[in-house]
């Protein structure tokens, strides 16, 4: 069995490494020699899966960190990594933030981390390099090397040129001009639409494999958000304040919003994936319905009655053990964040597969007058703030922004946003994979990760290319294989 040794740079929570370890090819596999990462929580995650001796925690721009890499990775075969490039993203402040924020991001040192990536590649000279990044990199240009005024080149082309200058082939098989691929993770079995740039390069003078889709039109059906449908129900803690924006809309629709909430809990009580909490959900539904019948016709003290109702709900969720995870460690990460009652009603009222842009548009089939009135943000800017998923489609792109809020990731049935555990399954991480750190740190690691199923396909193509090199004539093999 031939084992190719891998160095994972900017390793994050380990998506790239996990996928490469899952890649399988006759008589050939991968071993992660070292994973390099700066974030402490991500390093703890990596240590838990790779072993503490395989993780280098530190800033890759520092000479001391590079020396650790060079010392421990002298015989490395593959370097993989996706340098974080903040202004390349198609979502977030780089595109939608203030002018000051955009200018700050332009000067962000993280946008040149790819240069350190190539410095390490040049020193170690592995046979294979895999570079991953966001699709937004395609629109990024920088000043050309000749320094001429207004002479700019695409960053992605500069990266390909840099690899070729170091002796790597970036050409893709059966193509005259292609040097990189834009892949949608959903096309490779990931239950999530996620478009990413992948560059595969090698020093074996071989054309690099073109990764053909395995799912989608003409192939296997897409994997969908049903990947999380089997999980036990989780209910959020709910808050309510008289200072909540559009609280008057909630009070003016007092009976309707209470009815929507009670009906949603009643629907959940009939689901089969309640696991050990099924009886608790049923009792919760009954108790809340009793309280609803007592207060639904009240004409005064509406906010007071709502507050009492929500307090009862919060107490019952704990008392009935609905969110208990039964000593199952991965389920530690399957817990909902807290939501305010206005957002809960928006979650419930939005149709699966729809969003706030549609429920606020009068000529849309999804228009909802109550939800339109409840919408608390500037309608002239971000209209798609709330996005509700559906069981019959892949998830939207899982983002690190989930650490801020989960409004674009509303569960198809339950009145909440996705948990970290659900996000990791939609990223195609194994069910027993454990992320360390607090909830927000977990969201960040998961949102920044390369989906393991996509990484597995990339890794498998490299194993195949390696075997192809072994099959060449002996003079070629002795010159280019280890």
Non-local CB neighbours of 107 within 8 Å, separated by 6+ positions: none
Residue 450 CA to residue 364 CA, distance in Å, equals 35
Sign of CA dihedral 48, 52, 53, 55: positive
Tokens of 477: 């093999």
The total number of residues shown for the chain amounts to 482
Q: What are phi and psi of 28, to 5 degrees?
A: -155, 135
Sign of CA dihedral 354, 360, 361, 362: positive
Residue 336 CA to residue 329 CA, distance in Å, equals 16
Q: Which of 43, 85, 160, 436 is the catalytic position?
A: 85
Give the residue among 212, 286, 205 at the shortest CA–CA distance from 475.
Answer: 205
Residue 426 CA to residue 394 CA, distance in Å, equals 8
Residue 341 CA to residue 264 CA, distance in Å, equals 13
| HSE value, Cβ hemisphere, 13 Å, CA-based, for 372 | 11
Q: What stretch of H or E contains 80?
A: strand 78-81
Tokens of 303: 């906010």
Residue 406 CA to residue 250 CA, distance in Å, equals 21
Give the residue among 354, 391, 421, 350 at the shortest CA–CA distance from 225.
Answer: 391
| HSE value, Cβ hemisphere, 13 Å, CA-based, for 250 | 26
Tokens of 361: 């548009």
Crossing angle of helices 254-268 and 278-295, rounded to 10°: 160
Q: In sequence order, what E strands does 170-234 have?
A: 181-184, 195-202
> Given the structure tokens 């010392």, which residue do they identify?
71
Annotated catalytic residue 160: no
Residue 419 CA to residue 406 CA, distance in Å, equals 9
Cβ count within 10 A of residue 75: 10
Active site residues: 85
């Amino acid at each position: 069995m031939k084992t190719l040794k891998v160095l994972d740079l900017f390793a994050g929570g380990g998506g790239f490494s996990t996928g490469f370890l899952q890649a399988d090819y006759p008589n050939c596999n991968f071993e992660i020699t070292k994973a390099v990462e700066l974030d402490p929580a991500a390093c703890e995650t990596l240590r838990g899966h790779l072993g503490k001796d395989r993780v280098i925690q530190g800033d890759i721009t520092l000479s001391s960190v590079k020396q650790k890499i060079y010392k421990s990775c002298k015989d490395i075969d593959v370097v993989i990594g996706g340098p974080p490039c903040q202004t390349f993203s198609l979502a977030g402040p780089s595109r939608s933030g203030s002018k000051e924020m955009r200018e700050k991001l332009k000067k962000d040192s993280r946008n040149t981390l790819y240069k350190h990536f190539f410095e390490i590649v040049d020193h170690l000279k592995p046979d294979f390099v895999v570079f991953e990044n966001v699709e937004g990199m395609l629109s990024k240009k920088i000043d050309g090397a000749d320094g001429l005024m207004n002479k700019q080149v695409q960053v992605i082309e500069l990266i390909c040129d840099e690899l070729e200058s170091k002796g790597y082939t970036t050409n893709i098989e059966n193509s005259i001009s292609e040097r990189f691929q834009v892949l949608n993770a959903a096309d490779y079995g990931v239950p999530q639409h996620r478009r990413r740039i992948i560059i595969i390069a090698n020093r074996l003078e071989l054309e690099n494999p073109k990764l053909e889709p395995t799912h989608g039109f003409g192939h296997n059906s897409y994997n969908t958000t049903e990947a999380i449908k089997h999980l036990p129900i989780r209910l959020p803690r709910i808050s309510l304040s008289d200072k909540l924006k559009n609280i008057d809309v909630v009070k003016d629709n007092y009976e309707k919003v209470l009815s929507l909430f009670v009906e949603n809990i009643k629907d959940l009580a009939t689901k089969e994936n309640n696991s050990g909490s099924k009886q608790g959900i049923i009792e919760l539904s009954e108790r809340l319905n009793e309280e609803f019948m007592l207060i639904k016709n009240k004409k005064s003290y509406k906010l007071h009655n709502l507050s009492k109702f929500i307090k009862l709900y919060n107490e019952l969720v704990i008392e009935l053990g609905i969110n208990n995870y039964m000593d199952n460690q991965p389920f530690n990460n399957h817990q909902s964040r807290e939501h305010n009652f206005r957002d809960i009603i928006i979650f419930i009222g939005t149709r699966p597969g729809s969003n706030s842009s549609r429920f606020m548009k009068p000529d849309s089939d999804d228009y909802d007058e109550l939800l339109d009135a409840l919408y608390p943000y500037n309608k002239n800017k971000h209209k798609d703030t709330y996005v509700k998923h559906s069981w019959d489609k892949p998830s939207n792109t899982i983002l690190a922004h989930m650490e801020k809020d989960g409004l674009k990731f509303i569960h198809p049935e339950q009145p909440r946003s996705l948990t970290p555990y659900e996000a990791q399954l939609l990223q195609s991480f194994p069910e027993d994979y454990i992320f360390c750190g607090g909830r927000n740190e977990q969201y960040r690691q998961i949102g920044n990760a390369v989906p393991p199923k996509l990484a597995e396909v990339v890794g498998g193509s490299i194993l195949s290319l390696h075997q192809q090199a072994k099959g060449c004539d002996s003079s070629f093999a002795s010159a280019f294989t280890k």
